[in-house]
Amino acid sequence: MKEFDLIVIGSGSGLNVASAAAEQGLKTAIIEEGPLGGTCLNRGCIPSKMIIHSADVAETIRQSALFGLNATIRSVNFRKVTRRASQVVDADAHAIERSIRSSKNPLLFKARAKFIGKYTVQAGNEILRGKKIVIAAGARPVIPSIPGLNTVPYLTSTEALRLTSLPQSMIIIGGGYIAAELGNFYGSLGCKITIIQRGPLLISREDTDVAELLTTLWKKKYTLLMNATTRNVVRKGKMVIVSVEQGGNVRSISAEKLLLATGVRPNTDLLDVQKTGVKLNEQGFVVVNKYMETSVKNIWALGDVAGVYLFKHSANLEADYVLQNILSTPTAVDYYPMPHAIFTNPQIAGIGMTEQEVQEKKIAYVVGKYHYKDTGMGAAIEERDGFVKFIVHRKTQEILGCHIIGPDASTLIHEVVVALKADRKRALEILRTAVHVHPALSEVVQRAALNVPV
C-alpha cells in the first residue's frame, strides 16, 4: 500500500488542486483513467466550441446577402472541422500528462479509481491510502431506458465531437444545452436535424422568454417534435428508426444518426463511493457543504460529481476553495454571481434567477428589456430577434437576474457579472451610468438596464 497526504481522483479541475498541493509540499497522488484534462478539455467545452465556430462561420456566410455580398458554401470538409479540434485537445492532454510524469509529485496513476475503504483507493493494481481525498471524477452522459436502444448504434456528446463524416440526417433525443449546441453545429453544416423533446420548449431551464424565442426560431429551420415521448428504436439497414408518441399519435421517423442528449449522471457509481460512507443524493451526486466538504471528514468533492453547478468555471472556482480549505482555515465558496452560456445560434447567456423562479418565490419584481435591433450596432449586423432582459427587485432595485439571447451573449453577460461583483446593490446604477462606446453592441445591456422601471 502506498501512503499519500492527498489523493485526487480526476484530472479536470482536480488537477488544479493536485498540482498546487504538491507545490506546497503535500505528497500527492492523482488518479485518472482517461486522457488528462478532464471533460472540458477532452469531450466538452474546448472541442465543442472549436467545432461550433465552424458552424458560426457557416451561418455568417448564409446571411451574407443581407449585407450585399453573394457568398455561398461550396462544400464542407467535415473531417477537417472535427480533426482540427481533436488534434488540439489530444495534443494538450498529452502535454499535461508529460508534464505530470516529469515530476515525482504529484504522482500519476493512469487507471480507474475504486474505493475499497474510507480513505483507501484501488487504482489498477495499486492500493493507495490518503490522509485527505478530493473526489473530482466528473459525470458522464445519461443513457435513457428506451426499448431497443441496445440494438442500435447511437452517439453521445463524446462521439458526436469526433465524427469524421457529416451525416445527412440526425435525430436528437433531448432539448437541453447539449442538444442546442450540437444540433446547431450539425444543422448549420447541412445535416437534417430532428429533435424529440418531452416538454413544450427547448432549453426549458432558461428564462421562458429566452426559451420561447429559441424554440420559435428553431422551428423555422429544424423539425421539432415537442411534448413528445420516444417509445422505441430499431435499426433498419444504415438507418435508425425512432417511434415517437406525440399528442396521442404515434409516428416513425428515421435518420442516419441518433444522438442522445438527455443529461448527465455523476461517476460516483463507477468509484464505489458508498464504501467511503460519503453521502450521496437521490441522483448520485456527492452531497457537499458550503466548504465542499463531504459527510466524511477530510474528503472533499468538486465539479460535476458534486453537482452544485455543472460548469467548468464553477469547478475551477471550487478547486481554488478546496485547495485553500485543505491547507488552511476553511472558507465557504462564494459563487456569486455565477453566469452561464449556451453556444448555440443564437447565443444564450444568463445570470441569477429566471422570471419564472422569481414568480415562484413570490418576489415583487420589475422587468427591463431591450432588443438588439433598436441599437446602432444591432441594426448594423441585422440582428432582428435578440434581446437583453433584466429582472430587478421592485423595492431595492437589486438585479435578480439577467438573460441574453443574441450575438455575443456569452461576452455581453460579463458586463453584468462585473457590475454585480463590484457592488451587488448598486449594479443596476453602475450599468446605467457607465459610459458605453457608441455604437458598440454592449449598448443593448445599458439600454435594457435603463428600461427597468424605477
- For residues 299 and 277, state if they share a domain: yes
- For residues 347 and 432, state if they share a domain: yes
- For residues 166 and 31, state if they share a domain: no
Ranges in the chain, pLDDT < 50: none
Cell numbers that stand for 340 in this block: 452561464
pLDDT of residue 175: 97
- For residues 222 and 276, state if they share a domain: no
The catalytic site residues sit at 438
What DSSP string describes 390-422? EEEETTT--EEEEEEESTTHHHHHHHHHHHHHH
Burial of 392 by CB count in 10 Å (0-12 exposed, 13-18 middle, 19+ buried)? buried
Residue 228 pairs in a beta bridge with 246
What's the distance, Cα to Cα, between the start and end of the chain in Å? 66
Are the CB atoms for 176 and 187 separated by under 8 Å?
Answer: no
What DSSP string describes 106-163? SEEE-S-EEESSSSEEEETTEEEEEEEEEE---EEE-----TTGGGS--B-HHHHTS-
pLDDT of residue 454: 87
CATH of the domain at 199: 3.50.50.60
| Cα 100 from chain centre | 27
Which residues are CB-neighbours of 219 under 8 A, at least 6 positions away?
A: none
- For residues 228 and 270, state if they share a domain: no
Q: What per-residue string of b and e applies to 234-264 under the rule 16 or more CB within 10 Å gives b? A: beeeeebbbbbeeeeeeeeebbbbbbbbbeb
Q: What is d(CA 269, CA 312) in angstroms, rounded to the nearest whole number?
A: 21
The answer to whether position 334 is within a domain reads: no
> Which of the listed residues 218, 233, 262 is the one where a domain comes to its end?
262
- For residues 54 and 201, state if they share a domain: no
- For residues 300 and 160, state if they share a domain: no
User: For residue 200, what are the domain limits?
Assistant: 149-262
How many residues are present in the chain?
Answer: 454
pLDDT of residue 40: 87
- For residues 173 and 189, state if they share a domain: yes
Alpha carbons within 13 angstroms on the beta-carbon side of residue 229 total: 9
Q: What is d(CA 345, CA 56) in angstroms, rounded to the nearest whole number?
A: 8
In 3-state terms, the chain is what percent helix, strand and coil (to 5)?
35, 25, 40
- The whole-model pTM stands at 0.96
DSSP 281: -
- For residues 284 and 381, state if they share a domain: no
- For residues 85 and 125, state if they share a domain: yes
pLDDT of residue 311: 95
pLDDT of residue 380: 97
**Domain tally for the chain?**
3
Are the CB atoms for 417 and 340 separated by under 8 Å?
Answer: no
Count of other CB atoms within 10 angstroms of residue 369: 15
The answer to whether position 333 is within a domain reads: no
- For residues 405 and 305, state if they share a domain: no
